Amino acid sequence: MGTQQYAPMSQHTVIGIDLGGTKCSVVRFRADTWTPEAEEVFATRAQDGLPAIMGDVTNAVEKLRRPDTHAVGLGIAGLVRHEDGLVLKAPNIRESANIPVRRFLSERVGLPVQVDNDAHCFALAEARIGAGRGHDIVIGVTMGTGVGGGIVVDGVLFRGSRGIAGEIGHALLRPGEPPYKTADQRGEVEQFLSGTAMGKRCEEAKRPEEYLEGEVCSFLRPEVFREVAWLCTNMTYILDPSVIIFGGSAGRALKIHLPLIRTELEKWMLPDTPRPELTVGELEHPGALGAALLTVEIAH
């Protein structure tokens, strides 16, 4: 298993879209260097539904496209059937079930379109161009409104047999006893390590003033570091990644705490097991860039 190389592309442009529940970032990239050239950012009208939002996305693409723009990639926080670009469900956006986003956008802008989960896009960008360069197996973990993930092997996204590989947020961390009356009772990773969950935990402890977006509450840190270490331990024994990369507002906040998380990880790993490198993403627009990279074929 070795790292694939990607052939330089001609000097055309590609548009990448990072569509979240709060905001949408549409970025035009040079396809030979993958540097951003221009960006449109707008608030996501989540209450108006995904079809309405796609109209806003189309307008932004039309503003940014040039005659040399040859493709569009879109990442969205939700469950996506990558092979045909069907969004099965985007939890933070209304009217998002079974929406043919790829067909919708391609018909309106007249360009090839690729669609995938936003955490997959983050992992792909960091693996090919960012903090995962030179690594053969990369796991990206996004910790923001929710928790997402992506697995990249030799520069290629691994989606599993039915497309749900990397859905790290739904892995069990502290499971309760079934049957579950609510999603919270499942004890999913997302219920503990998302930025939303951390804010809720601070409020429940009557210490909401300690929670700032993009920071880990001081009184929660030992618990959070232990939970992150558990997650990393499980991922290591299942996939043996050479690097795990954290992103999202809460994920980036782990950067200054990584030495403590590595110390915690040592408590749970067997003595002779290789440890993965732990780091945070280094790219400015990882979601949009990863979406743009969906349009690129591997150079064998």
pLDDT for residue 134 is more than 70: yes
pLDDT tens, position by position, 139-155: 999 998 889 999 999 99
CATH of the domain at 72: 3.30.420.40
Same domain as 239, residue 289: no
Same domain as 107, residue 148: no
How does the average pLDDT of the chain come out, rounded?
90
> Is position 61 within any domain?
yes
Spell out the long-range contacts of 20-24 with Cβ–Cβ below 8 A and sequence spacing 24 or more.
20/44, 20/76, 20/77, 20/92, 20/118, 20/145, 20/287, 21/46, 21/77, 21/90, 21/91, 21/92, 21/93, 21/145, 22/46, 22/92, 22/145, 24/53, 24/56, 24/57, 24/60
Same domain as 156, residue 76: no
Indicate the pLDDT class of residue 87, thresholds 50, 70 and 90: very high
pTM of the predicted model as reported, rounded to 2 decimal places: 0.91
Same domain as 89, residue 187: no
Same domain as 20, residue 40: yes
> Is position 79 within any domain?
yes
pLDDT tens, position by position, 241-262: 999 999 998 999 999 999 999 9
Give residue 298's pLDDT. 41
